[in-house]
């Protein structure tokens, strides 16, 4: 914010502002990762695996803990070596501050995380002692005997797979895979923290915590109630108006929070009873909100779009323009299914009243204006993307704390920022170690080999797009969108270029498939979040989303095979 003011009013700039913000993002990410570990909010494929804990007790924690603590300790040592190398050849950042002084947070973070993962592996010292013995055996086999070779890598991957089943965090799986591969080939693992550092201090990455913070201010304040009132007053009279309201509100929040699950968790308690009150069935309501939890993924300032642009080196402003029509199509599909339910069912409608419509829009005017502020910042030429994110975060802070006074400055703001940092840390730690794995894949020429294989077996662009849809759907069902972007984009980008697919169109195809993956059984993230939030068994959640899977899959195919939907608006803006 200060940089914008200095540039626009005084035609000057703050020395070292950009590089300072980039390294502060490093600290936010790693401190947030420590918070996520403390709160047991590190992303995993299987969550708490409660049925396994009921059957096997704390032994599941021991099995997952051996991999988790071991991988984290290795990352700590590798990070320390990186920091020591930077200290031996110092590079200044700003004044007396050097690169290695900012990297101190990395080994400290991994050390604290390893300790917390160790303590969380079991409530009794007996189980923790067994974990220590397991770590000692693994260290002896790997370091004492200096074993290397294919069978050791296979055994390591088998151990990681078992730890996945028992609830090890995603960053452990990706980091462990990178460690095994680097160690087997070259015996050097400093590349992993080096790549982590490089991606986290990327010039565009500060937008992630800043836009996420804006979303958290909205979610923790009263924005959801005011927006529901606005949309209900204006659209509630339509048959199926309540589902339409739910979809629009969810799209607004998802655009700020990405695929983080905040939408379902924050709005579920408000929208689910509202749907039931208007006589929509529990099955329909569960399916609608589960599908809507990621429905605004393409709209500015979506975090996955920004991250894709960073990873694929694609213009982020063009990606946002390209996502407008596909995003509106997917919103229309889900909302249309809700309207259909309003026609065929005996559901309630809200009569339209001009007085209520005017009062609702006046009360919620500051939140309704937020997307316009983001778009003006993105395309107005006054602020950069990072500065736009800062403006949006400060704007959300001001209207929630000082205008509406939903958040108390001394009571609510700090916990909200801590919650935001916890989410950001859980995401960035995945991005960092996944970048290390990607570095190995590039060094081993895996993307080029995959490209040669595809070109040898697939000769039609249409067939390639269909195969890409299927592969990305599986990826979206098995991986969170952030780690999928880091790991998979380097593999598919050369293929898309070889088949003459516009890079921006490829990006939208990638994102809409992963958006659909959130709903795909058995492990789509929205399915678990809905089961938790609405207290519904997973099999019933699976059944509730089937209609949405079908209609959204049709929408994804239309977006894939009709590039004009994606590329028309960027062409109008000359992008």
Do both 373 and 470 map to the same domain?
no
Distances (CA, A) of 490 to 184, 305, 332, 412, 552: 22, 15, 32, 41, 26
At residue 509, the pLDDT reads: 94
Domain extent, residue 64, equals: 22-200
Do both 184 and 53 map to the same domain?
yes
Whether residue 2 lies inside any domain: the answer is: no
Mean pLDDT to the nearest integer, 148-173: 78
State which of 182, 200, 218 marks the end of a domain: 200
Lowest-pLDDT choice from 42-51, 228-237, 366-375, 523-532: 42-51
Confidence of residue 457 (pLDDT cuts 50, 70, 90): confident
Mean pLDDT to the nearest integer, 167-184: 84
Residue 56 clears pLDDT 80, i.e. is over it: no
- Read off the tokens for 211: 């836009």
Do both 35 and 166 map to the same domain?
yes
DSSP-assigned states of every residue in 38-82: HTT---BSSTT-HHHHHHHTTHHHHHHHHHHHHHHHHHHHHHHHH
Whether residue 12 lies inside any domain: the answer is: no
Do both 327 and 438 map to the same domain?
no
Cβ 454 vs Cβ 465: under 8 Å? no
Confidence of residue 187 (pLDDT cuts 50, 70, 90): low
Average of per-residue pLDDT values in the chain:
84
At residue 51, the pLDDT reads: 46
Give, as one character, the DSSP assignment of residue 318: H
State which of 366, 391, 421 marks the end of a domain: 421
At residue 48, the pLDDT reads: 47
| Per-residue model confidence as pLDDT tens digits over 465-488 | 999 888 888 887 777 677 778 778
State which of 179, 200, 221 marks the end of a domain: 200
Mean pLDDT to the nearest integer, 71-75: 91
Share of residues in the chain with pLDDT > 90 (%): 23
* Orientation of helix 563-572 relative to helix 503-517, angle to 10°: 130
Domain count, the chain: 3
Q: How many Å apart are CA 418 and CA 220, to the nearest integer?
A: 12
Mean pLDDT to the nearest integer, 24-40: 92
Confidence of residue 560 (pLDDT cuts 50, 70, 90): very high
Mean pLDDT to the nearest integer, 198-225: 85
Mean pLDDT to the nearest integer, 288-302: 87
Q: How many Å apart are CA 121 and CA 132, to the nearest integer?
A: 11
Do both 405 and 461 map to the same domain?
no
Cβ contacts of residue 10 below 8 Å, gap of 6+? none
Do both 160 and 246 map to the same domain?
no
Do both 83 and 154 map to the same domain?
yes
Do both 324 and 414 map to the same domain?
yes
Mean pLDDT to the nearest integer, 400-405: 93
Do both 188 and 333 map to the same domain?
no
Mean pLDDT to the nearest integer, 359-377: 88
Residue 47 clears pLDDT 80, i.e. is over it: no
Do both 416 and 445 map to the same domain?
no
| Per-residue model confidence as pLDDT tens digits over 340-351 | 887 777 677 778
Do both 403 and 438 map to the same domain?
no
Lowest-pLDDT choice from 8-12, 362-366, 525-529: 525-529
Residue 220 clears pLDDT 70, i.e. is over it: yes
At residue 150, the pLDDT reads: 61
Per the document, the length of the chain is 575
Confidence of residue 523 (pLDDT cuts 50, 70, 90): low
Whether residue 529 lies inside any domain: the answer is: yes
Question: CA 350, 354, 360: angle at the middle one, nearest 5?
Answer: 75
Residue 50 clears pLDDT 50, i.e. is over it: no
Helix (H, G, I), strand (E, B) or coil at 94: strand
Residue 364 clears pLDDT 50, i.e. is over it: yes
Residue 369 clears pLDDT 60, i.e. is over it: yes
Helix (H, G, I), strand (E, B) or coil at 97: strand
Residue 52 clears pLDDT 60, i.e. is over it: no
pTM, two decimal places: 0.82
Widest Cα–Cα separation across the chain: 79
Give yes or no for a cis peptide into 303 (omega within 30° of 0): no
Do both 168 and 303 map to the same domain?
no
* Token pair 């109008």: residue: 572
Whether residue 101 lies inside any domain: the answer is: yes
Whether residue 270 lies inside any domain: the answer is: yes
Which position has the higher pLDDT, 492 or 264?
492
Give yes or no for a cis peptide into 37 (omega within 30° of 0): no
Helix (H, G, I), strand (E, B) or coil at 92: strand
Confidence of residue 49 (pLDDT cuts 50, 70, 90): very low
Whether residue 429 lies inside any domain: the answer is: yes
Q: How many Å apart are CA 560 and CA 342, to the nearest integer?
A: 30
Residue 133 clears pLDDT 50, i.e. is over it: yes
Burial class of residue 343, CB neighbours in 10 A (0-12, 13-18, 19+): exposed
Mean pLDDT to the nearest integer, 405-415: 91
Which position has the higher pLDDT, 136 or 75?
75
Which position has the higher pLDDT, 331 or 127?
331
Whether residue 562 lies inside any domain: the answer is: yes
Q: How many Å apart are CA 48 and CA 51, to the nearest integer?
A: 9
Highest mean pLDDT among 43-57, 301-315, 477-491, 547-561: 547-561
Whether residue 5 lies inside any domain: the answer is: no
Helix (H, G, I), strand (E, B) or coil at 169: strand
């Amino acid at each position: 914010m200060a940089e914008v003011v200095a540039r626009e009013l005084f035609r000057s700039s703050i020395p070292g502002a950009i590089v300072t913000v980039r390294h502060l993002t490093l600290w936010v990410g790693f401190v947030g990762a420590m918070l996520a570990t403390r709160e047991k909010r590190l992303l995993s494929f299987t969550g708490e695996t409660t049925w396994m804990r009921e059957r096997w007790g704390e032994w599941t924690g021991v099995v997952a803990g051996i991999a988790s603590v071991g991988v984290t300790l290795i990352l700590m040592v590798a990070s320390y070596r990186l920091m020591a190398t930077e200290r031996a050849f110092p590079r200044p950042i700003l004044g007396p501050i050097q690169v290695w002084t900012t990297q101190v947070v990395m080994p400290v973070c991994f050390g604290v995380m390893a300790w917390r993962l160790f303590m969380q592996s079991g409530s009794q010292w007996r189980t923790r002692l067994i974990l220590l013995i397991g770590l000692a055996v693994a260290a002896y086999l790997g370091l004492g005997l200096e074993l290397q070779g294919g069978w050791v890598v296979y055994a390591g991957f088998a151990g990681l797979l078992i730890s996945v089943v028992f609830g090890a965090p995603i960053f452990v799986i990706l980091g462990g895979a990178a460690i095994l591969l680097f160690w087997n080939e070259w015996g050097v693992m400093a590349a992993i923290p080096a790549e982590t550092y490089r991606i986290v201090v990327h010039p565009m990455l500060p937008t992630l915590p800043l836009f996420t913070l804006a979303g958290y201010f909205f979610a923790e304040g009263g924005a959801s109630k005011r927006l529901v009132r606005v949309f209900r007053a204006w659209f509630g009279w339509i048959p199926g108006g309540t589902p339409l309201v739910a979809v629009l509100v969810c799209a607004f929040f998802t655009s700020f929070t990405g695929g983080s699950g905040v939408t379902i968790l924050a709005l579920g308690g408000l929208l689910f009873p509202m749907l039931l009150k208007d006589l929509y069935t529990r099955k329909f309501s569960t399916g609608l909100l589960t599908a809507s939890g990621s429905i605004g993924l393409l709209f500015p300032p979506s975090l996955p779009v920004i991250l894709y642009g960073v990873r694929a080196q694609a213009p982020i402003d063009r990606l946002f323009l390209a996502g407008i029509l596909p995003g509106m199509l997917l919103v229309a599909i889900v909302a249309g299914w809700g309207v259909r339910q309003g026609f065929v069912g005996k559901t309630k409608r809200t009569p339209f009243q001009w007085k209520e419509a005017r009062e609702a829009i006046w009360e919620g005017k500051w939140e309704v204006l937020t997307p316009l502020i983001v778009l003006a910042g993105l395309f107005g030429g006054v602020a950069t993307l990072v500065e736009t994110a800062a403006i949006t975060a400060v704007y959300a802070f001001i209207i929630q704390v000082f205008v509406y006074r939903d958040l108390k400055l001394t009571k609510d703001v700090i916990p909200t920022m801590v919650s935001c940092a916890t989410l950001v840390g859980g995401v960035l730690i995945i991005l960092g170690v996944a970048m290390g794995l990607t570095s190995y894949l590039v060094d081993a020429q895996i993307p080029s080999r995959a490209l040669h294989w595809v070109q040898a077996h697939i000769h039609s662009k249409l067939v390639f797009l269909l195969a890409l849809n299927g592969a990305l759907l599986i990826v979206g069902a098995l991986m969170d969108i952030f780690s999928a972007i880091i790991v998979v984009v380097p593999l598919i980008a050369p293929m898309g270029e070889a088949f003459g697919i516009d890079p921006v169109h490829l990006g939208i195809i990638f994102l809409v498939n992963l958006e659909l993956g959130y709903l795909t059984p058995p492990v789509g993230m929205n399915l678990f979040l809905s089961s938790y939030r609405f207290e519904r068994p997973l099999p019933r959640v699976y059944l509730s989303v089937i209609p949405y899977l079908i209609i959204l899959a049709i929408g994804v195919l239309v977006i894939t095979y009709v590039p004009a939907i994606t590329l028309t608006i960027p062409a109008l803006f000359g992008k």
